[in-house]
A and B are shown apart, each in its own frame.
Chain A
Amino acid sequence: MKNSIACLLLATFFVWTSCDQYPYQQGKILYTNFCENCHMADGSGLKALIPPLAGADYLSKNGAAIPCIIRNGIKGEMTVNGITYNTEMAGVERLTEFEITNIINYIHTSWGNDLPIVEHLQVREWLKPCEKNVKPF
């Protein structure tokens, strides 16, 4: 009896601490696999070649466009924090709307970013313009 209580407490403790440290564990893993090469582990980007995600004004100004950027990529000029970028980003078509939601929430809560959490139903709406690969831009 004593043992099982101890186990339960320990398990609760682990779940609690791991949840506390990484609220968007899946988003973090997906970010590492699909985005980190370019946008860097700290979201800093690369000079005037790749825009940052940490502290990027683009995220708050163009929230609704982000899911389609992730799915289909984007090219042409864009301005982020006053710097103009013009490098093509390839999309990651295989990501589901849940996965995209988790990545966005990971970005919204990392590296000092403090942007609102998005719901997957909202992301589904935002993905509508780029369904079936119709490029929204």
Chain B
Amino acid sequence: MKYLFIWLVVFSVLVGCQSSLSPDVLPMLGSPQIDQNGDSVAHTIPDFSFVDQDSNLVTNETFAGKAYVADFFFIACPTICPKTAKQMLRIHDYFKDDARLELLGHTLAPKYDTVAALNRYARNLGVSSKKWHFVTGDQATIYKMAPEYMNVALEDSDAPGGINHSGYLILVDKNRHIRSFCNGTDPEDVDRFIKDIEKLLNEK
């Protein structure tokens, strides 16, 4: 009888942990905000307007009714960016034919990563702006967007390449809420992230 009780506890803890580890519905991430009516709403990506590798204007409207994966990088980045790009490419290939998902890479070095440079970069990766936008714009505006996507970006002359930044990939839903993230240099974490994306796309 005593053992039955212990097993029950173990069982419920296991089940409890499981469901919190992989909930059926992805959580809303980031700190909640207060809207005009004084109600608390999940963190929401603010309005933005950038230009991509084909000189297209990219705004929130570009992703209307779609989910997207966002990250921050720069072409000459000697540290984590190539690894992160490789993982973004995996996600790109996995959801290639699924129009419900797009990708958005922000350059942190807009001075060098011009539209022409981003165009060459995208071509060398073999991807199109129909699916994966590499955007540039006003440097201060881009740096202000990074924390909105739970990323860190700082100019730092001591960092390799002159920019200190984190390589998180962020999943944003069609209502501009952050629903999942992963470390873009860790292929196993990205495996889990891909499952999260599928979960989001299958949400009603």
Give residues in A with beta carbon < 8 Å to B: 37-38, 40, 46-50, 87-88, 90
In the complex, residue of chain A having the shortest beta-carbon distance to the beta carbon of B126: A47
Partner of A49, one of B78, B79, B83, B121: B121
**Number of chain B residues whose Cβ lies closer than 8 Å to a Cβ of chain A:** 14
User: Within the complex, which residue of B76, B83, B89 is in contact with A47, where a contact is CB–CB below 8 Å?
Assistant: B89
Residues of B within 8 A of A (CB): 76, 78-80, 82-83, 85-86, 89, 121, 123-126
The distance from the CB of A73 to the nearest CB of chain B, in whole angstroms, is 10
Residue on A nearest B121 in the bound complex, by CB: A49
Give the distance to chain A from B4, nearest Cβ to Cβ, in Å. 45
Complex A-B: 15 CB contacts under 8 Å:
A37-B79, A38-B82, A40-B82, A40-B86, A46-B86, A46-B89, A47-B126, A48-B124, A48-B125, A49-B85, A49-B124, A49-B125, A50-B82, A88-B76, A90-B78
Which residue of chain A lies nearest to B76 when distances are taken between CB atoms in the complex? Answer: A88
Question: In the assembled complex, which residues on chain B have CB atoms less than 8 Å from the CB atom of A46?
Answer: 82, 85-86, 89, 125
A49 CA to B79 CA, complexed, in Å? 14
Output the nearest chain B residue to A83 by Cβ-Cβ distance. B124
* B163 to A: closest C-beta gap in Å: 14
Is there contact, CB below 8 Å, between B86 and A37? no
List the A side residues contacting B82 at CB < 8 Å: 37-38, 40, 46, 49-50
Least distance between A60 CB and chain B CB atoms (Å): 24
Other than the known A48-B123, A49-B121, A90-B78, what 11 A-B pairs have Cβ atoms closer than 8 Å? A37-B80, A37-B83, A38-B82, A40-B82, A47-B126, A48-B124, A48-B125, A48-B126, A49-B125, A87-B124, A88-B76
CA distance A50 to B86 in the complex (A): 11
